[in-house]
C-alpha cells in the first residue's frame, strides 16, 4: 500500500511519454509526408529499416561465419578421423588378405596332403585286399592239404591194418606148413603103418 503513490507516478510518466511519442509521431509523419513530396529524398523509416535489416544481415552473417567455422572445425576433425579409419581399414584389409592368402595356401597344402593320404589309403586297402585274397587262397590250400593228409593217414592206417592182417595170415600159414612138415616126417618113420591124415579144415 505504501508503494501506490510511487506506482501512480510511474503510470503518469508513462502516459506523458506516450502522449509525447504520439505528438512526435505525428510530427514525424508530417515530416515524412513533406520529405516524400520533395524529389531525391529518401524515407527515413525505410532508411532505418534498411539499416536495421543490414545490421540483422551482418549479425546473421557473423553468426553464420561462426557456425561455419565451428562446422568447418568439426568437418576437419571428422575428415581426420575418416583418414585415420581409412588407413586402419587399409591395414586391416591388407592383413586380412594376407591371412586369407595364408589360409588358402594352407588349405591347398592340406588338400594336397589329404589327396595323397587318400591315395595311400587306397593303395594300402588294395594291398590288404590282395593279401587277404592270398591268405584265403593259402587257407584253401591248407584245408585241402589237411583233407589230403587226413585221407593219407586213413589210407596208411588201413594199409598198416591190412599189412598186419597179411603178416598174421603169413605167420599162420607158416605154422601150418611147419606143422604139416613135421607130420610127414613122423609118417615116414612109421613106414608100413600108413600115412596119418591131417585135417587142415579144422586148423583153418
Q: What is the pLDDT of residue 17?
A: 63
- d(CA 165, CA 107) in angstroms, rounded, equals 84
Q: Give me the mean pLDDT over the 145-162 stretch.
A: 91
Cell triple for residue 129?
585286399
The yes-or-no verdict on residue 73 having pLDDT over 90 is no
Average pLDDT over residues 59-88: 82
Assess contact for 196 and 186: CB atoms under 8 A: yes
Q: Does the predicted model carry a pTM greater than 0.85? A: no
Cβ atoms of residues 180 and 156 within 8 Å: no
CB 195 within 8 A of CB 180: no
* Mean pLDDT estimate for the chain: 76
Percentage, residues of the chain above pLDDT 70: 66
Residue 134 in this model has a pLDDT that exceeds 90: yes
Which of 61-65, 143-147, 162-166, 196-200 shows the lowest mean pLDDT across its residues?
Answer: 196-200
Instruction: Report which of residues 5 and 114 the model is more confident about.
Output: 114
- Round to whole Å and give the CA distance between 192 and 188: 9
Phi, psi of 37 (to 5 degrees): -70, -25
Amino acid at each position: 500500500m505504501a508503494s501506490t503513490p510511487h506506482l501512480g507516478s510511474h503510470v503518469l510518466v508513462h502516459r506523458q511519454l506516450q502522449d509525447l511519442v504520439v505528438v512526435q509521431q505525428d510530427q514525424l509523419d508530417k515530416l515524412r509526408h513533406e520529405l516524400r513530396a520533395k524529389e531525391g529524398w529518401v524515407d527515413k523509416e525505410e532508411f532505418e529499416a534498411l539499416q536495421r535489416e543490414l545490421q540483422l544481415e551482418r549479425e546473421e552473417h557473423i553468426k553464420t561465419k561462426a557456425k561455419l567455422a565451428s562446422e568447418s572445425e568439426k568437418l576437419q576433425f571428422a575428415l581426420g578421423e575418416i583418414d585415420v579409419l581409412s588407413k586402419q581399414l587399409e591395414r586391416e584389409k591388407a592383413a586380412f588378405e594376407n591371412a586369407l592368402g595364408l589360409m588358402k595356401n594352407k588349405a591347398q597344402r592340406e588338400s594336397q596332403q589329404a589327396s595323397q593320404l587318400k591315395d595311400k589309403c587306397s593303395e594300402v586297402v588294395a594291398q590288404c585286399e590282395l593279401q587277404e585274397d592270398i591268405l584265403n587262397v593259402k587257407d584253401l590250400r591248407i584245408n585241402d592239404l589237411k583233407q589230403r593228409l587226413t585221407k593219407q593217414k586213413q589210407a596208411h592206417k588201413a594199409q598198416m591194418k591190412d599189412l598186419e592182417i597179411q603178416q598174421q595170415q603169413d605167420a599162420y600159414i607158416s605154422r601150418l606148413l611147419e606143422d604139416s612138415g613135421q607130420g610127414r616126417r613122423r609118417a615116414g618113420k612109421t613106414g608100413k603103418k600108413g600115412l596119418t591124415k591131417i585135417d587142415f579144415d579144422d586148423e583153418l
